[in-house]
């Protein structure tokens, strides 16, 4: 293995190394087609992929090999399998420069819609929330430091490309951020089992942050206390709670419905 290949193996497994090196990895032809070229550092393909699918990535090949704006590496199928994070590799991956969004910049948008995530652990949940956030016209997602790494390969795959378009940032103190958001005039709605008001009875046409907590424990008391209001999702049957990504999506799409009907859209 050359040094790049050794680094890829480490980046796939170690979030701390991805953070310190300021990179992340995406795999699969769909994600590769949607990646922003200006963030591309290296394109890596298997020999069989290059032979069978060269036409699918002709623009990226030109960007790497002719324009030389990013590195390019072709490896044997066996070596690619060692680099990949997936069980059935498609044969193409890219190393990209990490994003540098800040929570403060994201939250500047007037009447924006945001999602604050506390201690979310499932990569699929985070990826789905980022995808739903784009679809619902949200303006950003803020995570606390105990959430799953947003650059986790499983998170990125679950976004189906929304990762490249939905701003996100990690906050060192989500409780203080929610407090400041509320004091600045924003509304903080917590999805909570103790909510007295149904989620669709709240007004989402003002600047709003939606709080979503850990999959099993929900929101901490400290963050819950910063909410302007607790809202619940009425449910039939014996179901006690919903998947975090589903709950976040329901609230975000209610916000989109209200904003569309009132003539205001976030995007």
CATH of domain 3-97: 3.30.1330.30
* Contact yes or no for 250/242 (Cβ under 8 A): yes
pTM of the model: 0.93
| CATH 3.40.1280.10 domain extents, the chain | 103-261
pLDDT tens digits, one per residue of 145-203 = 999 999 999 999 999 999 999 999 999 999 999 999 999 999 999 999 899 899 999 99
Look at residue 266 in the predicted model and tell me its pLDDT. 44
| CATH 3.30.1330.30 domain extents, the chain | 3-97
Which CATH fold would you assign to the domain 103-261? Answer: Alpha/beta knot (3.40.1280)
pLDDT tens digits, one per residue of 7-57 = 999 999 999 999 999 999 999 999 999 999 999 999 999 999 999 999 999
Cβ burial 60-82 (10 Å sphere, 16+ → b, else e)? bbebbeeeeebeebebeeebbee
């Amino acid at each position: 293995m050359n040094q790049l290949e050794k680094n890829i193996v480490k980046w796939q497994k170690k979030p701390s190394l991805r953070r310190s090196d300021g990179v992340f990895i995406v795999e699969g032809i769909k994600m590769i087609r949607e990646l922003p070229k200006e963030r591309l550092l290296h394109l890596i393909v298997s020999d069989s992929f290059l032979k069978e699918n060269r036409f699918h990535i002709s623009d990226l090949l030109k960007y790497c090999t002719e324009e030389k704006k990013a590195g390019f590496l072709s490896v044997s199928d066996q070596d690619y399998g060692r680099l990949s994070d997936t069980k059935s590799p498609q044969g193409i991956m890219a190393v990209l420069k990490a994003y540098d969004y800040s929570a403060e910049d994201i939250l500047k948008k007037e009447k924006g819609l945001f999602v604050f995530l506390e201690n979310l652990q499932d990569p699929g949940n985070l990826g789905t929330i980022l995808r739903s956030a784009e679809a619902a016209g949200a303006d950003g997602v803020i995570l606390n430091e105990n959430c799953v790494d947003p650059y986790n390969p499983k998170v990125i795959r679950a976004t189906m490309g929304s990762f490249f378009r939905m701003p996100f940032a990690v906050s060192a103190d989500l409780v203080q951020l929610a407090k400041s958001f509320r004091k600045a005039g924003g509304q903080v709605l917590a999805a909570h089992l103790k909510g007295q008001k149904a989620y669709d009875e709240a007004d989402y046409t003002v600047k709003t942050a939606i709080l979503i907590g850990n999959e099993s424990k929900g929101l901490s008391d400290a963050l819950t206390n910063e909410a302007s209001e607790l809202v619940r999702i009425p449910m039939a049957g014996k179901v006690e709670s919903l998947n975090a990504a589903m709950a976040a999506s329901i609230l975000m799409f209610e916000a989109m419905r209200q904003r569309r009907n009132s003539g205001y859209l976030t995007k």
